[in-house]
């Protein structure tokens, strides 16, 4: 007998639920995107014929709801508490001591630690395994019902996984909706291209996206969610927080992979240090770690205050933002002549580093943030990037603040500055501007370029100011007498410098290409170009078409390279480098284009250096095929973190298994 429509619908929905879980929660898909799309369209077609059979948990119902007029309010069954903060180790130790005292124990407490996500807290309500409601935290008692938007978040299951699991009648699960850093940057790029205001940080972007009245807009933002807490639950009981989290995982909810059980303070402090270490390599922003008493019976005994539980604490990282006052704004001239406005500020300590200058990026950013001299501002120092001014504190304005415009004359050489149509930067047009020259020489000599040991910025300043060096090639014609007349240059240091310059005559071609300071040609692109063309002569004569044909070389890079080598003065510098004894090497051209010709490659586990999609695109560009299932026909299986069963299967079939590093090496990255 033919399968009934009901059975067919159920089967399609179950398959789609499962594969969406593999892709978005486990990041380990079993089928290709095309196969997924085929199943999805089949379900869509069948539902179109039988609209009365559409269920709220159908995968087709993630998008499709009409824009709302406004959000209804949603009363949480149990209040959604926030967390008390510990701002340093001492405050965390006080929390542990307090906890022990309250529990009348001297033994180590078992905690569960997790990264503290910087997103938007929400609650999901599953009734008999079906997602019925999604709501924001709001004031903790009443939030907004954002169910239609919540349903567009791909890692949130519309239906809990039921195989082997007991499905509770009611499950209220809480967590953080976040937007990854890359996704945030992409979103802002698009917004800027469209003339829309950028979001200040991923958290604001996540909150703004989830509170869209039109769910289609939310659906276009790649939001994600990690679950970390519970509200009211009926039909299931837990004895520990850890057990609750494991159950969440089994039910198909996404739980942060970096959670850890820690007994006693030393293990917690170790966890805090470990997370501090990996913080900047995580794909999303965190601002500390959350520490919770694991045992629910102990949590019960500790109880809650009005707004936060006594059994948990957020141990925050040192602030990366501080407020201070702008004393002046100056324009710095860079290697390409670009004028960067820099705020000179009252010195302020940010996360252990004294900061007195912060970049304002360009005129548009100054105008957008309306930054004025005299303003009080929020300054941020994130990871290893240059401190930047985030926003103005308008309430502190006195009316005496002064607007700033980048100068029309270069502050260093007095030449005209221009801002070409469509570009963000205003530039000094004088190629021989001493500021540009100094930066170019400094870059040329820097560690990752020609690596001339001991040629620091002070020395470069003197060489340029005394007229001894007018371009990088002049370095190779310096002699001891000339160096002797520089300040703080003893005979020994002159010898050392000449020796270092001599050593740099034999660097690889990709270093030399990077050292030339061509716009948009960073270290990596220089390597890519050298590998593709092999000799400086071929690079000098390459056309834009030939350059863009190389993987990872875009039109902007190509244009800039061609422009650089079309200039007489640049060609002369290269001739003079050669005359100065710089060896211009050749490199064997690697057949990069079809490196993976006809090969089938499977990725499994979480890749660390790129997304799975990017890796698959790369394989295709190199002539290979990216597949999602391992068979005897597979040539390589590339394993990321937590690889799962495919690596095992590959080994059993005798298929070669590569680590991510080995794969990158194979394709020359
Ligand atoms: O990651 C977070 N922002 C986070 C917030 C994690 C948690 O485990 C939380 C929380 C807020 C309240 N737990 C509670 C109880």
Per-residue pLDDT tens digits for 516-556: 999 989 888 898 899 899 999 999 999 999 998 887 788 88
**434-445 and 457-465 are packed helices; what angle lies between their axes, rounded to 10 degrees?**
130
Q: Using alpha carbons, select from 37, 25, 32, 22 the residue that is nearest to residue 620.
A: 32
pLDDT-above-70 percentage for the chain: 98
We report the CATH number of the domain holding residue 10 as 1.10.287.610
Instruction: Identify whether 24 is part of a domain.
Output: yes
Q: Specify whether the CB–CB gap between 446 and 472 falls below 8 A.
A: no
Backbone φ/ψ region at 309: left (φ over 0), alpha (ψ -120 to 50), beta: beta
We report the CATH number of the domain holding residue 641 as 3.40.50.10190
Query: Is the per-residue pLDDT at 293 higher than 50?
Result: yes
Which of 113, 229, 282, 309 for mutating ligand 1's site (highest number of atoms within 8 Å of CB)? Answer: 229
Instruction: Identify whether 116 is part of a domain.
Output: yes
116 is catalytic: yes
Q: How far apart are the first and last CA of the chain?
A: 56
Instruction: Identify whether 40 is part of a domain.
Output: yes
Q: Structural domain of residue 114, as residue ranges?
A: 89-316
Check whether residue 482 and residue 513 sit in a common domain: no
8, 100, 116, 585: the catalytic one is 116
Check whether residue 232 and residue 108 sit in a common domain: yes
Find the Cα–Cα–Cα–Cα dihedral 469, 475, 481, 484, rounded to 10°.
80
Instruction: Identify whether 286 is part of a domain.
Output: yes
Check whether residue 294 and residue 383 sit in a common domain: no
Check whether residue 17 and residue 46 sit in a common domain: yes
- pLDDT at site 383: 58
Check whether residue 121 and residue 225 sit in a common domain: yes
pLDDT tens profile 344-403:
999 998 877 889 999 999 999 999 999 999 999 999 886 556 899 989 999 999 999 999
Q: Which one is predicted more confidently, 504 or 486?
A: 504
Instruction: Mark which of 403, 426, 450 sits at the end of a domain.
Output: 403
- pLDDT at site 668: 75
Check whether residue 486 and residue 513 sit in a common domain: no
Ligand 1 within 6 A of 289 CB?
A: no
Ligand 1 within 6 A of 117 CB?
A: yes
Number of domains composing the chain: 6
Instruction: Identify whether 641 is part of a domain.
Output: yes
Report how far residue 218's alpha carbon sits from residue 152's, in angstroms, rounded to the nearest whole number. Answer: 7
| Helix, strand, coil % over all residues of the chain, rounded to 5 | 40, 20, 40
Which of 202, 259, 312 for mutating ligand 1's site (highest number of atoms within 8 Å of CB)? Answer: 312
Q: How does residue 1 score in pLDDT terms, banded at 50, 70 and 90?
A: very low
Interacting residues of 99 by C-beta distance below 8 A, sequence separation 6+: 109, 293, 302, 310, 311
- pLDDT at site 458: 92
Query: Is the per-residue pLDDT at 271 higher than 90?
Result: yes
Average pLDDT, the chain: 91
Interacting residues of 476 by C-beta distance below 8 A, sequence separation 6+: 501, 505, 576, 577, 580, 581, 582
- pLDDT at site 343: 97
CA angle 118–81–201, rounded 5-degree value: 15
Check whether residue 476 and residue 561 sit in a common domain: no
Q: Specify whether the CB–CB gap between 231 and 172 falls below 8 A.
A: yes
Instruction: Identify whether 493 is part of a domain.
Output: yes
pLDDT tens profile 313-338:
999 998 788 899 999 999 999 998 99
Task: Give the Cβ contact number of residue 159 at 10 Å.
Answer: 22
Instruction: Identify whether 72 is part of a domain.
Output: no
Mean pLDDT for 575-584 is 95
- Distance between Cα 310 and ligand 1 center (Å): 13
Check whether residue 306 and residue 223 sit in a common domain: yes
Three-class HEC string of 600-664: EEEEECECCCCCHHHHHHHHHHCCCEEECCCCCCCCEEEECECCCHHHHHHHHHCCEEEEHHHHH
CA angle 589–664–626, rounded 5-degree value: 100
Query: Is the per-residue pLDDT at 183 higher than 80?
Result: yes
Q: Using alpha carbons, select from 510, 494, 492 the residue that is nearest to residue 502.
A: 494
Check whether residue 553 and residue 623 sit in a common domain: no
Instruction: Mark which of 316, 345, 362 sits at the end of a domain.
Output: 316
| Sign of the four-CA dihedral 146, 151, 155, 158 | positive
Check whether residue 188 and residue 286 sit in a common domain: yes
pLDDT tens profile 607-666:
888 877 788 878 877 878 888 888 888 999 999 887 778 888 888 888 999 999 889 888
Rounded to 5 degrees, φ, ψ at 623 are: 90, 5
Instruction: Identify whether 83 is part of a domain.
Output: no
Task: Report which secondary-structure segment, H or E, holds 102.
Answer: helix 89-102
- Distance between Cα 175 and ligand 1 center (Å): 7
We report the CATH number of the domain holding residue 573 as 1.10.150.20
Which atom of ligand 1 lies closest to the CA of 115? 1
Give the distance from CA 53 to its chain's centroid. Answer: 42
Report how far residue 552's alpha carbon sits from residue 137's, in angstroms, rounded to the nearest whole number. Answer: 43
Q: How does residue 592 score in pLDDT terms, banded at 50, 70 and 90?
A: low
Check whether residue 143 and residue 230 sit in a common domain: yes
Ligand 1 within 6 A of 177 CB?
A: no
Q: Using alpha carbons, select from 265, 389, 411, 388 the residue that is nearest to residue 330.
A: 411
Ligand 1 within 6 A of 81 CB?
A: yes
Report how far residue 219's alpha carbon sits from residue 39's, in angstroms, rounded to the nearest whole number. Answer: 20
Find the Cα–Cα–Cα–Cα dihedral 199, 202, 208, 209, rounded to 10°.
120
Check whether residue 481 and residue 613 sit in a common domain: no
């Amino acid at each position: 007998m033919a399968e009934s429509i009901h059975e067919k619908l159920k089967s399609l929905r179950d398959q789609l639920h499962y594969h969406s879980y593999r892709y978005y929660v486990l990041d380990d898909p079993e089928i290709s995107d095309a196969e997924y799309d085929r199943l999805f369209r089949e379900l869509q077609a069948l539902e179109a014929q039988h609209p009365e059979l559409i269920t709220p948990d159908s995968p087709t119902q993630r998008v499709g709801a009409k824009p709302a007029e406004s959000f209804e309010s949603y009363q949480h069954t149990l209040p959604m508490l926030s967390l008390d903060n510990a701002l340093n180790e001492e405050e965390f130790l006080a929390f542990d001591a307090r906890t022990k005292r309250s529990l009348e124990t001297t033994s180590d407490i078992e905690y569960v630690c997790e990264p503290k996500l910087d997103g938007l807290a929400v609650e999901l309500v599953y009734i008999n395994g079906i997602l019925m409601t999604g709501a924001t935290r709001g004031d903790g008692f009443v939030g907004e019902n954002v169910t239609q938007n919540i349903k567009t978040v791909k890692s949130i299951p519309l239906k809990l996984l039921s195989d082997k699991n007991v499905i509770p009648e009611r499950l209220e699960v809480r967590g953080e909706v976040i937007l990854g850093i890359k996704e945030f940057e992409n979103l802002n790029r698009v917004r800027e291209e469209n003339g829309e205001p950028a979001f200040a940080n991923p958290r604001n972007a996540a909150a703004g996206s989830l509170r869209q009245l039109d769910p289609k807009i939310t659906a276009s933002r790649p939001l994600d969610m990690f679950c970390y807490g519970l509200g009211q639950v009926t039909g299931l009981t837990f004895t520990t927080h850890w057990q609750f989290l494991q159950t969440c995982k089994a039910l198909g909810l996404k739980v942060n992979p970096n959670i850890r059980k820690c007994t006693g303070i030393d293990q917690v402090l170790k966890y805090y240090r470990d997370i501090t270490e990996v913080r900047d390599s995580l794909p999303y922003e965190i601002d500390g770690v959350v520490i919770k008493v694991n045992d629910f019976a102990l949590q019960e005994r500790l109880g809650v205050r009005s707004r936060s539980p006594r059994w948990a604490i957020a141990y925050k990282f040192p602030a990366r933002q501080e407020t201070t006052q702008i004393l002046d704004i100056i324009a710095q001239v860079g290697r390409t002549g670009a004028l960067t406005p820099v705020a000179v500020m009252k010195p302020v300590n940010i996360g252990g580093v004294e900061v007195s200058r912060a970049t304002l990026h360009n005129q548009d950013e100054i105008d957008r943030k309306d930054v004025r001299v005299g303003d009080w501002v929020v300054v941020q120092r994130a990871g290893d990037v240059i401190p930047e001014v985030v926003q103005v504190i308008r309430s502190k304005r006195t009316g005496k603040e002064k607007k700033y415009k980048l100068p029309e004359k270069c502050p260093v050489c007095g030449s005209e500055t221009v801002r070409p149509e469509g570009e963000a930067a205003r530039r000094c047009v004088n190629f021989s501007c001493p500021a540009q020259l100094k930066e170019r020489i400094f870059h040329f000599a820097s560690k990752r370029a020609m690596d001339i040991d001991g040629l620091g910025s002070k020395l470069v300043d003197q060489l340029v100011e005394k007229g001894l060096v007018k371009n990088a090639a002049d370095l190779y014609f310096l002699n001891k007498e000339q160096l002797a007349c520089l300040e703080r240059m003893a005979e020994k240091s002159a010898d050392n410098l000449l020796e270092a310059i001599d050593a740099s005559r034999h660097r690889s071609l990709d270093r030399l290409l990077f050292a030339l300071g061509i716009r948009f040609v960073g270290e990596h692109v220089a390597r890519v170009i050298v590998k593709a063309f092999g000799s400086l002569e071929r690079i000098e004569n390459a056309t834009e078409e030939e350059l863009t044909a190389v993987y990872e070389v875009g039109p902007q890079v190509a244009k800039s390279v061609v422009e650089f080598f079309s200039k007489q003065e640049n060609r002369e510098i290269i001739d003079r480098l050669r005359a100065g004894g710089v060896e211009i090497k050749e490199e064997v051209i690697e057949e990069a284009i079809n490196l993976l010709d006809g090969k089938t490659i499977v990725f499994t586990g979480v890749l660390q250096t790129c997304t799975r999609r990017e890796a698959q695109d790369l394989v295709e560009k190199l002539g290979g095929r990216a597949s999602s299932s391992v068979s005897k026909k597979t040539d390589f299986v590339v394993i990321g973190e937590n690889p799962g069963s495919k690596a095992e299967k590959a080994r059993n079939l005798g298929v070669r298994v590569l680590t991510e590093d080995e794969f990158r090496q194979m394709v020359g990255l």
